[in-house]
């Protein structure tokens, strides 16, 4: 395999974003006076459903046993408000990269590897993180971005990694993926991409079968480990 590109998941991988997503969900629920508050414990369970809109629907169905069509029509607005809160919190400096991410990116650029993103979240959230960390939109650093609402099926389906490969114009064998969650690992493996699993704060109890290697942090990994 001639390694040509690194494909990064965002949430939980580039940064421990889920605590800020959780805060943003709860702020939006307050704005809409829903009387819902998601605890970290509950969020660990809800994260099994990828996609914020899908997660709210799963919560209504599985935890509130609520099949309220009128309320379901409000989900896109609730999620838009959540995204507004998330973008504001991130732009106010709520997040930093996980340890070792920047040095891996620097090494990749020195070795003229291409960088890409394959994430379930929205482009707005990816750009908010990139602006906060690097002071420029994600496309300045990442040659290809594939985001959640661009594909028919979110992770663990392979769609978003297949879209990233298509936009890169590369084969799976030319790339390595980095993921923090079981859903994300399944998605990358479903696209045939060798994957490094780096569990995050909210995915410690996930299974990582099929990962080429599973390490606690990026600082515990070097690209040579996969030769």
Catalytic residues: 9, 11
Q: What CA–CA distances, in Å, run from 2 to 8, 190, 196?
A: 18, 20, 17
Alpha-helix residue ranges (DSSP H) falling in the chain? 18-31, 40-46, 52-62, 69-91, 101-110, 123-134, 159-168, 182-190
Q: How many residues bind Mg ion (CB under 5 A)?
A: 6
Q: How far is the CB of 72 from ligand XBP (least distance, A)?
A: 16
Q: What part of residues 142-171 is at the interface with ligand XBP (CB under 6 A)?
A: 148, 155
Distance CA 221, CA 93 (A): 27
Q: Which two tokens stand for residue 185?
A: 């690992």
Q: Give the residue with the Cβ less far from ligand XBP, 26 or 120.
A: 120
Q: What part of residues 5-44 is at the interface with Mg ion (CB under 5 A)?
A: 9, 11-12
CB within 8 A of 6, min separation 6: which ones?
Answer: 104, 108, 113, 114, 115, 116, 175, 176, 177, 178
Which residue among 12, 78, 126, 132 contacts ligand XBP (CB under 6 A)? 12
Residue 156 interacts with which of Mg ion, ligand XBP, none, CB < 5 to 8 Å by class? none
| Interface with ligand XBP, residue 9, by CB under 6 A | yes
| Interface with Mg ion, residue 180, by CB under 5 A | yes
Stretch that binds ligand XBP, among 46-54, 92-100, 163-171, 206-214 (CB under 6 A): 46-54
Q: What part of residues 72-111 is at the interface with ligand XBP (CB under 6 A)?
A: none
Q: How many CA atoms lie within 13 A of 158 on its CB side?
A: 13
| Interface with ligand XBP, residue 203, by CB under 6 A | no
Q: What CA–CA distances, in Å, run from 79 to 74, 75, 130, 144, 173?
A: 9, 6, 21, 25, 36
Stretch that binds Mg ion, among 23-31, 161-169, 172-180, 212-220 (CB under 5 A): 172-180
Kindly list the residues in this chain that would bind ligand XBP in the complex (CB under 6 A).
Answer: 9-12, 18, 21, 50-52, 119-122, 125, 148, 155, 181, 183-184
């Amino acid at each position: 395999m001639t390694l040509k590109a690194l494909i990064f998941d965002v949430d939980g991988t580039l940064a421990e974003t889920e605590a800020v997503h959780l805060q943003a969900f709860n702020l939006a629920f307050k704005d809409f006076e829903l009387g819902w508050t998601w605890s970290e414990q509950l969020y660990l369970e809800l994260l099994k459903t990828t996609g914020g809109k899908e997660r709210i629907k799963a919560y209504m169905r599985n935890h509130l046993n609520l099949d309220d069509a009128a309320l379901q029509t409000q989900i896109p607005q609730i999620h838009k408000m959540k995204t507004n809160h998330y973008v504001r919190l991130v732009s106010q400096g709520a997040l930093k990269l996980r340890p070792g991410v920047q040095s891996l990116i620097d090494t990749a650029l020195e070795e003229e590897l291409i960088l890409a993103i394959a994430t379930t979240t929205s482009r707005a959230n990816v750009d908010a993180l990139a602006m906060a960390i690097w002071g420029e939109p994600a496309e300045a650093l990442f040659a290809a971005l594939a985001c959640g609402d661009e594909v028919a099926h979110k992770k663990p389906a392979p769609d978003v990694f297949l879209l990233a490969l298509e936009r890169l114009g590369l084969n799976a064998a030319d790339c390595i993926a980095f993921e923090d969650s079981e859903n994300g690992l399944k998605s990358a493996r479903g696209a045939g991409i060798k994957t490094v699993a780096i569990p995050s704060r909210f995915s410690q109890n996930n299974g990582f079968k099929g990962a080429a290697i599973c390490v606690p942090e990026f600082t515990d990994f070097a690209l040579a480990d996969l030769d």
